[in-house]
Structure 1
Amino acid sequence: MEETAASRLSFTELREEHLAEVVNIYNYYVLNTTVSFHTEPLDEAFMRESVLNGDPRFKSYAILENGEMQGYVLIARHKNKQAYDSSGEISVYLKPGSSGKGLGGKALSFIEERAAELDFHVLVATVCADNEPSRRLFTRHGYEQSALFKEIGSKFGRWLDIASYQKIIGRQACL
């Protein structure tokens, strides 16, 4: 467990005991926002497979403040092809009411450190283009917009764009 003394913020690998809260957090975004492109709530079985996958490189972590879960952050497989193995897709999900306190930036810094330890070279984040807070978060932390897909999805009766951001974190030689 990593902990920062000033804020009593800690990150711990997600476990089964966190799963119900992960489902609640994610489903809030499914039902109320364009943060997620899912349109139907997800169940625990689906989320278990997504965030507790057992892969030693692709990990999910609970964001805890004073022991209370405030969200989660993860590194997922970017594409399921071997040439992409040095790339990871990252996501940060905060519990409603937990944004605006700097938790997203701290979670992003934490996951970047973990990714560097695991020899990732590039991190990618894909967000709905309407999601200005996430776009600012990634830009503020050195991510560059690398793609914009127009009208690639629809939700709540309108077409939505997605933007991809990337950051090169590793400087190891290409294999």
Structure 2
Amino acid sequence: MGERAIAAGGLAFEEISEEHLAGVLDIYNYYVLNTTISFHTEPQTLEEMRQSVLSGDPRYKSYAILQDGSLAGYVLIARHKNKQAYDTSGEISIYLQPGVGGQGIGGQALKFIEQKAAELRFHVLVATVCADNEPSRRLFTRHGYEQSALFREIGHKFGRWLDIASYQKIIGQASI
């Protein structure tokens, strides 16, 4: 079992391990199959999810969000781009169990991952969301992220062209 942190409101954040993978996969595949939140069009396999959330790089972390001991979602910092000049930037994602939105879990997860990112000496965090995803857009804006890009008709899913919006927040002064 990896690092575990307790937050307010009965939430705990635990570094994702093998024991969380099946639940994390179920959450993600729900969004793949039923929404435009994920731009995957085919369900992911357990191995693909393992590669996505267990990178092996100590700077890129993934955490299970536990509410009263049950998996409520997950949050992660991933590599923004695979070029050295981007090493102080991280891409964040938050996925919640269907039906648990609106309880403040996303906001707590965002604060938690920002703190972790600061400890890991990231300078900028980026979040990219489908422009249809109003709850995520509001979440990031409410927490100080600014929309930095809008890519029109960049994806196609469920017979529709989809836009994505990127949000960014400068969280610290990483020493170079």
Question: Is the TM value for this pair above 0.5?
Answer: yes
1:21-36 matches, within 5 Å, as 21-36=23-38
Q: Which amino acid aligns with 1:93?
A: Y
| Separation of aligned partners in 1, 2:46 and 2:72 | 18
Deviations 1:79-102 (A, max 9, x none): 000000000000000000111100
The match for 1:46 is 48
Gaps of 5+ in 1: none
The match for 2:68 is 66
The match for 2:168 is 166
Q: Which amino acid aligns with 2:140?
A: F
In the TM superposition, structure 1's runs of 4+ consecutive aligned residues that sit over 3 Å from their partners are none
The match for 2:12 is 10
Q: Please give the secondary structure, in 2, of the residue aligned with 1:7.
A: coil
| Separation of aligned partners in 2, 1:42 and 1:63 | 20
Task: State the number of aligned residues.
Answer: 173
Deviations 1:108-138 (A, max 9, x none): 0000000000000000000000000000000
Q: Which amino acid aligns with 2:168?
A: Q
| Separation of aligned partners in 2, 1:172 and 1:10 | 27
Indicate if the aligned counterparts of 2:126 and 2:168 stay in contact, CA closer than 8 A. Answer: yes
The match for 2:142 is 140
1:125-136 matches, within 5 Å, as 125-136=127-138
| Separation of aligned partners in 2, 1:3 and 1:58 | 20
Q: Which amino acid aligns with 2:151?
A: F
| Separation of aligned partners in 1, 2:37 and 2:149 | 17
The match for 2:22 is 20
Deviations 1:4-44 (A, max 9, x none): 2x521100000000000011000000000000000000000
Q: After alignment, is 95-104 or 164-173 more displaced?
A: 164-173
Deviations 1:60-94 (A, max 9, x none): 00000111010000000000000000000000000
Indicate if the aligned counterparts of 2:65 and 2:109 stay in contact, CA closer than 8 A. Answer: yes
Deviations 1:141-160 (A, max 9, x none): 00000000000000010100
Q: Identity percentage over the alignment?
A: 74
Q: TM-score, normalised by structure 2?
A: 0.97
Q: TM-score, normalised by structure 1?
A: 0.97
Indicate if the aligned counterparts of 2:140 and 2:167 stay in contact, CA closer than 8 A. Answer: yes
Q: Please give the secondary structure, in 2, of the residue aligned with 1:49.
A: helix
Q: Which amino acid aligns with 2:29?
A: N
Aligned-pair CA distance for 1:172:
3.6
Within the candidate set 76, 95, 103, 2:105 is matched to 103
1:152 paired with 2:154, answer yes
Q: Please give the secondary structure, in 2, of the residue aligned with 1:74.
A: strand
